[in-house]
Amino acid sequence: MRIGVRLGASGAEAALAHSGQVLAAARRSDGGWRGLPALVRELAAAAPSTVDSVVWSVTELFEHALLAVGPRAPSPPPFTVLPAVPVASLLVLPRAPRALAHPSELVRSLVSWRGAVTGGHDLFGSELVPVDLDAAVRAATEARAAGLGTLTITATGASNSVAHEEAIAARLREEFPDLRIRLSGDAGGLGLLERDATTIINAALLTTAEDLIERCERVTAAVPGSPSCWFATGDGGRVSAKRLRSVPVRSLGSDAATVLTGSAVLTRRLDAHVVLAARGLISLGRVDAGLPMIAPDLAGKLSVRTVSPIPVLNVRGSAAEPALAAELRTLVGPRVVAAFDREGTEVADRLCADIPELVPMRSEANASAVGAACSEPSAWLDIVVPADTLEELQRQQHLAERQAMTLVAAAGAHPGSERVISSVATALAFLGRDVYRLHVRASSEPEGERA
Amino acid sequence: MIRKDVVEQLSVAELVQFGPLGQAKVFAGEELDRQVAGVVLVAELEEIRQCEPHSAVVLHGTAAQGAWALESALRLAWERNASCVIAPADIAVGNPTAQLAERLRVPLFVVADPARHALELSAAVADTDAARARLTARCAVLFGERGTLRDIVGVINTEVPGVQVALIAEDGHVLAGRAAADQASGERRVEVHVPGPDGRPWARLVGQLAAWSPSWSLTVRTVLGLARAPLAACVGRAWLRPVQQSASDRVLLNQLLGENGDAEAARAAGWSVDGTHIAVFLQVREAADLEAAAPRVIAAWQEAFPHLPLIPRGEGWVSWWTGAEGPSALASLLRPYLSATRPLQLAAGVGLAGEGVPGLRRSVDEARLAAAVAGRRDGETVELFGALGPRAVLACIPVSDVAAAARVALADLLAAPDADVLLAALVALLDCAGSTGQAAARLGVHRNTVLSRIERIRARGVDLDSPEQRLALHLACYSLLSAH
Amino acid sequence: MITEITVDDLPALEAGSQLTCSSAGSTHFDGALANIAELLRERGPVRMVGLDELDGDALCVAIGAIGGFGPMLELPPSGDEAVAAVRALEARLGRRVDAIVSLNASGPNAFAPVAAASALGLPLVDCDGMGRVLPLVSQTTYALAGLPIGPLAAVSLAGDVMVLDTSTARSELLLRSAMQAAGGFMLCATYPSTVDELAKCAIRGSTSRVVEAGRLLLGAPDRATLLAGLASVAGARVLGGGRVVELGHATRTVGARQYPAAPTSVVVAEPGPAGRMIRLEGQSEIFLAVVDGVVSAAVPDVLCLLDQREPHIVGLERVAVGNDVDVLVMPADPMWHSGAGLALAGPRAFGFPVEHPREEGAR
């Protein structure tokens, strides 16, 4: 038995599910945090057996915390959250880039001080220039003087060698014992700016996450049977409260992921193209075997590319409805439409009248809450490896798959339930040697399929 | 490029069954009935454009450098109406490639070493007979291992490519196999009659050929013929056990009588191994179809001597008595049995008594020689090795060859109007070492008659007095009489 | 006719550059573009000219990077790398460079010359030497016409500067080694030539075409408009489309290791029972399209994967099983279809022992 809860601007939506079946649903648009215990207890009371986990989808709250710093702060949701805290950011490169600021407006708003020191490695792990530790100390001194308590360090080549990031961190910890330091190498993934954005968002959300997660944990703890507390992630899976505290960025995109998986569950179409219709927007996503199609480096709702994968959503204005209808007719396989407001329902009705194969999602339950409840522990790995032979590539892929499964197990999956969802090797072009980027997506078996 | 055009063509399925492609991984394996006219070893894709229709296209070199090349080859092979494509195993054949092969209906085989396979395939395609002989042998072995009508017919349906077979009772009822086979007509239909327990026609084994050629039709007929005896053996319960038993007994006997005779297994089978043995060897006259005769011979034997095994060996069957009175007593026991197997004519030989396994081995050899001599006579006959003495040696003479030579050497004698009478007199005289009295007694005529016939024989140029001619003359006459 | 490139043209330049770069596809070079945008904001728009607008003896150099896209993601070029390269080359030649041409206006190499022109304050000539991406710097229409690749200069992202003065073949070899040692990327100034020399071999209008294609990709209201637009701008046609069902790296071609590229095979299955199987073979770039076993398109013609939902190119560096894509094919410049052109960059040059569909059609 699981409870999924989505928290957002419109309040709290919750669903009780078991083995892909929705047993009960509830919602509450007022009361904020104080109203949550009653909502969750109501569902727990409806459960025929013990509730073993509560999964929270809190993307919208984190988004609010991030945007609260910037110039276009949205109106506060019914759930108070602490705003993100701007950080100091240090780049480690052979020379300072012409555009030092991060191209993403959001990331820029989260960075109060930015500097660059020399250092870094190439993609093969060779040092490009020696790291300038003294310059790093000077930079940190400046950042401290500006009153910043958190520093992120992003070095070029940290996906293959974290030596310079770690050397700087070690030196700065000696000089500034109270400075919180976050390294891009911990986020992993290819791309300096993507890793940088990921590290900055994680660092800026530290206090927000601490506060938000603790609130959710308290509500969870009050449910009879002391269920475990989880958070839905952008890859369609979930992570433990402990894990999310250090990587809140993984929560981004979880609203889209849970809506897609929830729609699939509610329409019993686990391999489907899913149309999401709401006021002014129509999106087209895909679910395969109950999991959303995802990719890393997508800009998403916040227009920032991170190394954390989020669902692939083709978002269009409502003017695109006729074109979408034509496209839906040509698609192969099941097609589902889910509406989220009155305008969305009108779009869905028109599309369904037009396309007989289109299955409307009709449920009292909130798709996102259902998707959260039905999510499983997951992991995503994005690494770059050299492999001179096909055998070596296969060996590396196998290792990466083992590693991803271990991550799933470490995330709290039922032992033995870990499985690889997809494992893709793409050849990096024109490097003059065979280097591959490996993407491994792993998850736990869905609840219903386990004995 | 290796190419061999032959009139007689194997099908792709036969190449799979006969060996060259037996171990290959196969895709699009539903289309194996095509004939293979030749084998083409292709190093470059372009070469496929020059292939004759019905070729087996074997890829190597740049024509096999990846899935894309394999798919191109499949396509070109399809355009050239090739029979199949054979690719090296270092190309990983994925779903898309397999699907393309299926859609184009071009069978695809994946083997470790295509060049070697090209040679083997060429050999098979060139020597269709050898390949088919292997198939026949394989079926014969499998028939021996199957015990029911359905299984035996099943052997043909699974092992013989492109052939559907049904066993149909005389009343038209399908006893086993695929009823569709009976719809075949014309040259694509092969049919053999299967005798029942009583030797009378009981059912028909009908085969339908997907592809026809004279020799392929003959091969299938042979295989169907081979199935007759095992099928007949399955029919009646009374027949079933002895015939099946005899197959394993044959092996057991070989072990017992072999170089390092294994007596333990024979003892375990309940055979009498210790003591004094007298062996009996049965042989069918007129070189009848042994397999077909077996059920009748064995069943009759079981009826007459239920406690004694009758074991197939060489051209006949062996059994033996342990602790019997003597060879002559056995001969009188055997005579009624021999007449019970009519219309089949059996000849029997009885060996001397022998002690233990070595004795039995000797006795069996003696009985076989005696049976061979007996087989040269008319009617159901029993020969005792002991009575034959050195005459047993005659059993080993290739009588037909000697007779042929004798017809030349004694042409004048044989040209006489009463040649038969003269020949019989000559043999009697030689048998009786020149004694005209004994010869007359043996022939049942007056001594003067014998003398008169000797004069006529001399007049035909036969010198009865030359010692160095006598042995040759004796052999010649013996062979002429035996070869009749 | 586009006469200048402004900071506002960069998004279109980026989007359009994907079309002829099936390796990188829609990989986002946000860092590099941010630096170039900064440069254009500082220096103003880059003037773009046709070859005919320059003096016949004006000296041009071809700007383009060699190496991978991965290094550009990890260490975005600042845009002014070309200054060091061009200055080093000028010192070697003893002559000032008058204008910048593109080595190949495809992928990131579509905007590298823009940055170079801006940083050097020189005009950019609207032409290139490939019309696509090919693995070797010597696989150009410039080389086809006999122009020597050197003397050339190259700059690494760590700031190393190198000048090479040797034959085209050895330049290629030495440059590759240096590129690897430098971390998989070098910006090069190659083919120093006069306008008269370039006039007979440059592929004209390249950068304009990239911007036009980019505008279509960014702005087409629907897919039909997009495809019609790409047909008119680049002669693009859809070879087929469906779902990616296989992705592998097993195809090794004879002699292919001379290329700094990695083999990749992609199979696109068209939907439905009668759907065809489109197998794409390539080495970093897509070189061959085999449809149900028939070679239907081949290098030097351009093949790429267009996402069926979003108007962007799915590069071989990003493609995954499950992607829904259309396969586009665009004819290469007619110079490439000559016998010499196909010998240099036809399928056989990459170890695929097949005829180019055009050769076959001509038989």
Answer with the one of A318, A338, A372 that is the final residue of a domain.
A372
Domain range for A169 = 87-204
Indicate yes or no: CB of C66 within 8 angstroms of CB of A430: yes
> What number is the average pLDDT over the span C18-32?
93
Q: Are residues A92 and A156 in the same domain?
A: yes
B79 shares contact with chain C (CB less than 8 Å): no
Q: Are residues C45 and C179 in the same domain?
A: yes
Average pLDDT, chain C: 93
The separation between CA B186 and the C-alpha centre of its own chain, rounded to angstroms, equals 27
Indicate yes or no: CB of C248 within 8 angstroms of CB of B92: yes
Give the range with max mean pLDDT: A315-324, B5-14, B295-304. Answer: A315-324
DSSP H helices, A32-176, are 32-46, 59-67, 105-110, 133-145, 163-175
**Residue (of C71, C82, C79, C63) closest to C27 by Cα position:** C71
Dihedral, C220, C221, C227, C233 alpha carbons, nearest 10:
-30
SS3 A25: strand
Q: Say yes or no to pLDDT of B19 above 70.
A: no
- Burial (CB count <10 Å: 0-12, 13-18, 19+), residue C189: buried
Indicate yes or no: CB of B66 within 8 angstroms of CB of C281: yes
Q: Are residues A306 and A355 in the same domain?
A: yes
Q: What pLDDT score was predicted for residue B3?
A: 39
Q: Phi and psi for A329 in degrees, rounded to 5?
A: -65, -35
CA pair distance A359, A338, nearest whole angstrom = 9
Q: Which of B62, B73, B100 sits opposite C292 (nearest CB)?
A: B100
Q: Say yes or no to pLDDT of C149 above 70.
A: yes
Q: Which one of C10, C43, C73 makes the best mutation probe of the A interface by having the most chain A beta carbons within 10 Å?
A: C73
Query: Which residue in chain C has the smallest CA separation from A120?
Result: C75
Q: Are A56 and A7 in contact (CB under 8 A)?
A: yes
Residue-wise pLDDT tens digits, A163-211: 999 999 999 999 999 999 999 999 888 999 999 999 999 999 999 999 9
Q: Say yes or no to pLDDT of A447 above 80.
A: no
> What number is the average pLDDT over the span C348-359?
88
Indicate yes or no: CB of B62 within 8 angstroms of CB of C254: yes
Q: Are C291 and A391 in contact (CB under 8 A)?
A: no
Q: Say yes or no to pLDDT of C165 above 90.
A: yes
Answer with the one of C204, C219, C245 that is the final residue of a domain.
C204
Average pLDDT, chain B: 80
Q: Are residues A104 and A168 in the same domain?
A: yes
| CATH number (domain holding residue C317) | 2.40.390
Q: Are residues A187 and A323 in the same domain?
A: no
Is residue C263 in some structural domain? yes
Q: Are residues A267 and A364 in the same domain?
A: yes
Q: Are residues A411 and A422 in the same domain?
A: yes
| CATH number (domain holding residue C76) | 3.40.1610.10
Alpha-carbon distances, residue C222 vs A83, B341, B385, C214, C238 (angstroms): 40, 93, 105, 14, 16
B105 shares contact with chain C (CB less than 8 Å): no
Is residue C354 in some structural domain? yes
- Reported confidence tier of residue B380, pLDDT bands at 50, 70, 90: low
Q: How far is C342 from chain A (nearest CA, A)?
A: 21
Indicate yes or no: CB of C269 within 8 angstroms of CB of B96: yes
Q: Are residues A200 and A223 in the same domain?
A: no
Q: Are residues A170 and A264 in the same domain?
A: no
Q: What pLDDT score was predicted for residue C233?
A: 93
- As a whole-number percent, the residues of chain B with pLDDT over 70 amount to 90
- What single letter denotes the amino acid at residue B315? E
- As a whole-number percent, the residues of chain A with pLDDT over 70 amount to 98
- Reported confidence tier of residue A389, pLDDT bands at 50, 70, 90: confident
Is residue A211 in some structural domain? no
Q: Say yes or no to pLDDT of A450 above 80.
A: no
Is residue A72 in some structural domain? no
For the ranges A377-386, A440-449, B421-430, C265-274, which has the lowest average pLDDT? A440-449
Answer with the one of A372, A394, A417 that is the final residue of a domain.
A372
> What number is the average pLDDT over the span B84-95?
88
Q: Are residues C159 and C69 in the same domain?
A: yes
Q: Are residues C272 and C147 in the same domain?
A: no
Is residue A274 in some structural domain? yes
C246 shares contact with chain B (CB less than 8 Å): yes
All residues at 6 or more sequence positions from A244 whose CB lies less than 8 Å from its CB, including other chains:
A209, A213, A231, A250, A251
> What number is the average pLDDT over the span B134-149?
80
Alpha-carbon distances, residue B127 vs B9, B119, B120, B136, B156 (angstroms): 10, 12, 10, 15, 22
- Reported confidence tier of residue C308, pLDDT bands at 50, 70, 90: very high
- As a whole-number percent, the residues of chain A with pLDDT over 90 amount to 71
* B45 vs C126, residue with greater confidence: C126
Q: Are residues C235 and C200 in the same domain?
A: no
Query: Which residue in chain B has the smallest CA separation from C270?
Result: B96
Is residue A74 in some structural domain? no
Q: Which of C23, C71, C316 sits opposite A122 (nearest CB)?
A: C71
Residue-wise pLDDT tens digits, A14-54: 999 998 889 999 999 888 899 999 999 999 999 888 999 99
Q: What pLDDT score was predicted for residue B288?
A: 59
What was the ipTM of the complex prediction? Answer: 0.92
For the ranges A22-26, A424-428, B399-403, which has the lowest average pLDDT? B399-403
Is residue C216 in some structural domain? no
- Reported confidence tier of residue A233, pLDDT bands at 50, 70, 90: very high
Q: Are residues C59 and C170 in the same domain?
A: yes
All residues at 6 or more sequence positions from A290 whose CB lies less than 8 Å from its CB, including other chains:
A20, A261, A264, A265, A270, A374, A446
Q: Say yes or no to pLDDT of C110 above 90.
A: yes
Is residue A70 in some structural domain? no
- Reported confidence tier of residue A85, pLDDT bands at 50, 70, 90: very high
Is residue C212 in some structural domain? no
> What number is the average pLDDT over the span B398-407?
80
Q: Are residues C200 and C236 in the same domain?
A: no
Q: How far is A404 from chain C (nearest CA, A)?
A: 18
Indicate yes or no: CB of C354 within 8 angstroms of CB of B76: no
Q: What would the 3-class secondary structure string for chain B be?
A: CCCCCCCCCEEHHHHHHHCCCCCCEEECCCCCCCEECEEEEECCHHHHHHCCCCEEEEECHHHHCCHHHHHHHHHHHHHCCCCEEEEECCCCCCHHHHHHHHHHCCCEEEECCHHHHHHHHHHHHHCHHHHHHHHHHHHHHHHHHCCCHHHHHHHHHHHCCCEEEEEEECCCCEEEECHHHHHCCHHHEEEEEEECCCCCEEEEEEEEECCCCHHHHHHHHHHHHHHHHHHHHHHCHHHHHHHHHHHHHHHHHHHHHCCCCCHHHHHHCCCCCCCEEEEEEEEEHHHCCHHHHHHHHHHHHHHHCCCCCCEEECCEEEEEEECCCCHHHHHHHHHHHHHHCCCCCEEEEEEEEEEHHHHHHHHHHHHHHHHHHHCCCCCCEEEEHHHHHHHHHHHHCCHHHHHHHHHHHCHHHHHCCCHHHHHHHHHHHHHCCCCHHHHHHHHCCCHHHHHHHHHHHHHCCCCCCCHHHHHHHHHHHHHHHHCC
Average pLDDT, chain A: 91
Dihedral, A151, A153, A154, A156 alpha carbons, nearest 10:
150
Q: Are residues C36 and C139 in the same domain?
A: yes
Alpha-carbon distances, residue A106 vs A63, A113, A155, A202, C73 (angstroms): 10, 14, 20, 13, 20
Indicate yes or no: CB of C245 within 8 angstroms of CB of B73: no
A 340-399 residues inside an 8 A Cβ radius of C: 384, 390, 393
> What number is the average pLDDT over the span C171-194?
94
Indicate yes or no: CB of C353 within 8 angstroms of CB of B76: no
* A427 vs C64, residue with greater confidence: C64
CA pair distance B54, A110, nearest whole angstrom = 72
Task: Give C-chain residues touching B104 at CB under 8 angstroms.
Answer: 292-293
- As a whole-number percent, the residues of chain B with pLDDT over 90 amount to 6
Q: Are residues A269 and A322 in the same domain?
A: yes
Q: Are residues C27 and C140 in the same domain?
A: yes
Side-chain-side CA neighbours of residue B339 (13 Å): 5
Give the range with max mean pLDDT: A1-5, B137-141, B195-199, B324-328. Answer: A1-5
B87 shares contact with chain C (CB less than 8 Å): no
- What single letter denotes the amino acid at residue C266? V
> What number is the average pLDDT over the span A299-314?
93
Q: Say yes or no to pLDDT of C195 above 90.
A: yes
Q: What pLDDT score was predicted for residue B379?
A: 67
Partners of chain A (3+ Cβ pairs below 8 A): C
> What number is the average pLDDT over the span A77-82?
86
Task: Give A-chain residues touching C318 at CB under 8 angstroms.
Answer: 295, 426
Domain range for C116 = 4-204
Q: Are A39 and A14 in contact (CB under 8 A)?
A: yes
> What number is the average pLDDT over the span C263-281?
92
C68 shares contact with chain A (CB less than 8 Å): yes
Give the range with max mean pLDDT: A255-259, A430-434, B145-149. Answer: A255-259
Tokens representing A363 are 């449920």
> What number is the average pLDDT over the span B191-201?
75
Q: Say yes or no to pLDDT of A438 above 60.
A: yes
- Reported confidence tier of residue C243, pLDDT bands at 50, 70, 90: very high
Is residue A305 in some structural domain? yes
Indicate yes or no: CB of A97 within 8 angstroms of CB of C31: yes
**Residue (of A279, A387, A293) closest to A339 by Cα position:** A279
SS3 A202: helix
Residue-wise pLDDT tens digits, B405-419: 888 888 888 888 888
| Number of domain units in chain C | 2
Q: Are residues A311 and A234 in the same domain?
A: yes
Task: Give A-chain residues touching C28 at CB under 8 angstroms.
Answer: 297, 305
CA pair distance A425, A75, nearest whole angstrom = 43
Q: Are B226 and B252 in contact (CB under 8 A)?
A: no
Q: What pLDDT score was predicted for residue B238?
A: 43
CA pair distance A146, C277, nearest whole angstrom = 61
Q: What pLDDT score was predicted for residue B4?
A: 39
What does R_g of chain C's alpha carbons equal in angstroms? 19
Q: What pLDDT score was predicted for residue B470?
A: 79
Q: Which one of A318, A324, A430, A439 makes the best mutation probe of the C interface by having the most chain C beta carbons within 10 Å?
A: A430
Q: What pLDDT score was predicted for residue C277?
A: 94
Q: Are residues A278 and A358 in the same domain?
A: yes
pTM above 0.80, yes or no: no
Is residue A77 in some structural domain? no
The helix-helix angle for A192-204 and C30-43 (nearest 10°) equals 100
Chains A and C: how many Cβ contacts under 8 Å? Answer: 166
- Reported confidence tier of residue C255, pLDDT bands at 50, 70, 90: low
Query: Which residue in chain C has the smallest CA separation from A390?
Result: C250
Q: Are residues C194 and C256 in the same domain?
A: no
**Residue (of B33, B74, B80, B31) closest to B52 by Cα position:** B80
Q: Which of B65, B96, B104 sits opposite C267 (nearest CB)?
A: B96
Task: Give C-chain residues touching B69 at CB under 8 angstroms.
Answer: 353
All residues at 6 or more sequence positions from C187 whose CB lies less than 8 Å from its CB, including other chains:
C63, C64, C65, C77, C81, C82, C85, C112, C154, C155
For the ranges A351-360, A382-391, C194-203, which has the lowest average pLDDT? A382-391
SS3 C63: strand
Answer with the one of A344, A372, A400 that is the final residue of a domain.
A372
Q: What pLDDT score was predicted for residue C254?
A: 56
Query: Which residue in chain A has the smallest CA separation from C225?
Result: A323
Q: Are residues A222 and A197 in the same domain?
A: no
| Number of domain units in chain A | 3
Q: Are residues C158 and C246 in the same domain?
A: no
Q: How far is B53 from chain C (nearest CA, A)?
A: 19
Q: Say yes or no to pLDDT of C18 above 90.
A: yes
Q: How far is C293 from chain B (nearest CA, A)?
A: 4
A317 shares contact with chain C (CB less than 8 Å): no
Indicate yes or no: CB of B66 within 8 angstroms of CB of C292: no
Tokens representing A365 are 């339950």
SS3 A77: coil
Is residue A160 in some structural domain? yes
Q: Are residues C241 and C154 in the same domain?
A: no
CA pair distance B197, B235, nearest whole angstrom = 7
Query: Which residue in chain B has the smallest CA separation from C273?
Result: B103
| CATH number (domain holding residue A154) | 3.40.50
Q: Say yes or no to pLDDT of A302 above 60.
A: yes
